[in-house]
Structure 1
Amino acid sequence: MKKKELEPIAKQECAALKAIFMERRKALGLTQEKAAEALGMNQGSFSHYLNGRNSINTPFAVQVAHLLQVPVESFSPRIAKLIDMMTKAVSGEGLAEKHKGEREGSNVAPVPQPWRAPRKYPLISWIAAGERAESPDNFVPGDAEDYLASTENAGDKGYWLSVRGPSMTSASNPSFPEGTKILVRPEGFDLISGKFYIARHVDGEKTFKRLFIDSGISYLTPLNQTFKTVEVDGDWEIIGRVIDAKIPGL
């Protein structure tokens, strides 16, 4: 069966990406084979994206933008807008404006939210996650790789982590590709079904997952369905809630 031809907008995105790749490849020391290997695919699959045989999806867009060191918007404003919506969905930004029309005519006025200036939090390693909240005196500011700003309130001991692996990458919203920076509030948070948390196992393993609570039982669920859901038993401890995210490539 002949493969369905891509929509015009999808073709334009592929052509734009190909032009960027051709322009950037020499400076970055890339060939199609090297780029494909870095993206975890074969050369044929990568070529299909460049030549308009495969439509560019969000996870691929984020990864290839990071590889080519360009913003997603440079080849797909459509996906860049989608990623922006995903980021705002995590922090709750924009919800007031979204529901403005629903409140028109109502005699109940929204309570204005106080403005907060951006605050910088350290980007730390997964090894240090948890220990920072429990033993802040042992955390040396120089241990941070970087400091990233957010208007979200992560508390005095808040920190950023960089997402590892593909377990939280999804073809639909929300999705947190590898390299996404997530802001963690390690104290003063509630456990809410459907929200995102950092959990620690007794063996020291730490993981970023979505929490679901069903009939009083909590589960750590990945967004990538090829990974397993884990029941939160006595071996697991929730050590922080994720309240903001920065998607790479924006």
Structure 2
Amino acid sequence: MSTHNLIREGRKRLNMSEQQFADALGVSRGAVQQWEKPGGTAPKRTNQARVARLLGISIAELVSGVSAGSRGADMRGEVPLVSEVEAGNYTVIDNFKPKKQFETVPVSVPIQRHTYALRVHGDSMVSEVGDSFPPGSILVVEPEMTPEPGDYVIALNEANETTFKQLVKDGGDFYLKPLNTRYPIKPLDGARVIGVVREFTKRFR
């Protein structure tokens, strides 16, 4: 795959128009058209880092025109690691047009505009069997995904506090279930799900 195809297919994967892609990078639409045109110009060195970050690839992949995905790897890029407060106001996160500096973590799922990472606190999702999320685990959260029963989710209660639980359904009612049996299952009630957990990793340092 050429650099031109890599950029064009990456932009389409992000569901961005040429103008939206250009705006996110601070360049003209004409520049984007040249990058995607066979025989056109490639991104200048000063733009390469921003283009690669937006596409979720490395600069080396951008320049070579060969993505890690085409070599069998599954790495998609990086997302910001946010606080619980920022997770509750996730729309301030814009992976296509970053406005502030966050610590970032690598992910292997497709990145959307508001995808973010969150650190697990407490032991309510620690289990001796099956899935377990010890304190310090890093969750990759997609707020634009529709939650389904069985999903691990981030919910926001009426006091604007975030909580990490499993969404379960009993009859016609939804509940937030901890994996640690020492904690009670609570009805969703006035809380609302603001993100679905896509993957998690454990970071020690």
Alignment TM-score > 0.5, same fold: yes
Residue equivalent to 1:165: 122
Q: Are 1:181 and 2:138 matched, yes or no?
A: yes
CA–CA separation in structure 1 for the residues paired with 2:154 and 2:111: 13
* Aligned position for 1:130: 88
1:121 to 2:79 alignment? yes
- The answer to whether residue 154 in structure 2 is matched with residue 198 in structure 1 is yes
Post-superposition CA distance 1:133-154 (Å, at most 9, x none) = 2x447x8422x2x111112124
Find out whether 1:239 has 2:194 as its counterpart.
yes
| Residue of structure 2 in register with 1:224 after alignment | 180
Percent identity of the aligned residues? 30
* Kept in 2: contact 1:161–1:181 (CA 8 A): yes
Deviations 1:65-120 (A, max 9, x none): xxxxxxxxxxxxxxxxxxxxxxxxxxxxxxxxxxxxxxxxxxxxxxxxx9754210
Aligned AA (1:196) = Y
For 1:82, the equivalent position in structure 2 comes to none
Cα pair distance change 1:149/1:223, threshold 3 Å: same
Partner of 1:4: none
Q: Which amino acid aligns with 1:237?
A: R
What CA RMSD, in Å, does the superposition of the two structures yield over aligned residues? 2.1
- Give the structure, 1 or 2, with the largest relative contact order (CA under 8 Å, sep 6 or more): 1
Structure 1 residue runs without a partner (length 5+)? 1-113
How many residues align structurally? 131
2:75/2:106 contact within 8 Å kept: no
Give the secondary structure class of the aligned counterpart of 1:122: strand
Residue 130 of structure 1, CA deviation: 2.7
1:158 maps to amino acid: T
Q: Which of these two proteins has the greater Rg computed from alpha carbons?
A: 1
- Alpha-carbon distance between aligned partners in 2 of 1:115 and 1:186, rounded to the nearest angstrom: 25
